[in-house]
Chains A and B, each alone.
Chain A
């Protein structure tokens, strides 16, 4: 079955520093991978996706993610974190039934 894992419940970074939110996947076949962000009292918002092509995918708000097939990872990155990036981040993979399987989420806190 298709699944993703987010090994960190919480990530803390200082404003201006680079950030990484980790995700590993387990799939049969080619992975379709996604990142979503959830701000307080809001629904999830799509950030970016990897289907095929370049391993570095660029998305909204300056975020990017690197697909690494050998390490089965799809980590979310940003070169310089903002306080406003503080939110809950979900990694997801397309399921066998074309549904979406979400990870448990990682809470990112960016401190001034």
Chain B
């Protein structure tokens, strides 16, 4: 049963520290997404990769956030320096985009980040 995995599941850190979240998409999927979920803002798209190339990161605060795909099996989201307002659950999702343009996303379990 293929699944998206995310590490760590929980992270508590102090303001100013670097945070790195990792995601392993489902093998063979060619799209990867990073979302942030909070009570106030709901589900926000942060970054979107297709075939490892970044297509859209307009939702990401670029002064402190960065997203990369070093290879097809790993996506990373980094926050440096972290701030209390970054506290949220961060989800990674992957999908297989075909010629029809029809695909569903498979979400990981999320990383719950708390910045104190």
Chain A residues in the interface with B (C-beta under 8 A): 32, 34, 36, 41-46, 49, 51, 90, 94, 97-100, 102, 104-105
What is the interface of chain B mostly: helix, strand, loop, or mixed?
strand
Interface presence of B42 (CB below 8 A): yes
Chain A minimum-CB-distance residue to B43: A102
Residues of the B chain whose Cβ atoms lie less than 8 Å from the Cβ of A45: 107
Q: How far is the CA of A77 from the CA of B48 in the complex (A)?
A: 30
* Count of inter-chain pairs, beta carbons less than 8 A: 52
A37 to B31, CA, bound (A): 20
Given contacts A32-B101, A32-B102, A45-B107, contact A98 B31 (CB under 8 A): yes
Contact B56 A99 (CB under 8 A): yes
Given contacts A43-B109, A97-B48, A98-B50, are A105 and B93 in contact (CB under 8 A)? no
Q: Are B110 and A43 neighbours in the complex by a CB distance under 8 Å?
A: yes
Complexed CA–CA distance, A49 and B101 (Å): 13
Q: Is the CB of A97 within 8 A of B55?
A: yes
Complex: chain B residue closest to A51, CB-CB = B102
Would you call B100 and A51 a contact (CB within 8 A)? yes
Residue of B nearest to A100 (CB): B105
Find out whether the CB atom of A94 lies under 8 angstroms from the CB atom of B43.
no
Given A36-B107, A44-B105, A102-B42, 12 other A-B residues pairs in contact with their CB atoms under 8 A: A32-B101, A34-B104, A42-B109, A43-B109, A51-B100, A90-B43, A97-B48, A97-B55, A98-B101, A99-B33, A99-B45, A105-B42
| Chain A residue contacts of B43, Cβ below 8 A | 44, 90, 102, 105
21 A–B contact pairs at CB < 8 A? A32-B102, A34-B104, A42-B110, A43-B93, A43-B107, A43-B108, A43-B109, A44-B93, A45-B107, A46-B104, A49-B104, A51-B102, A94-B101, A94-B102, A97-B55, A98-B31, A98-B103, A99-B33, A99-B45, A100-B33, A104-B42
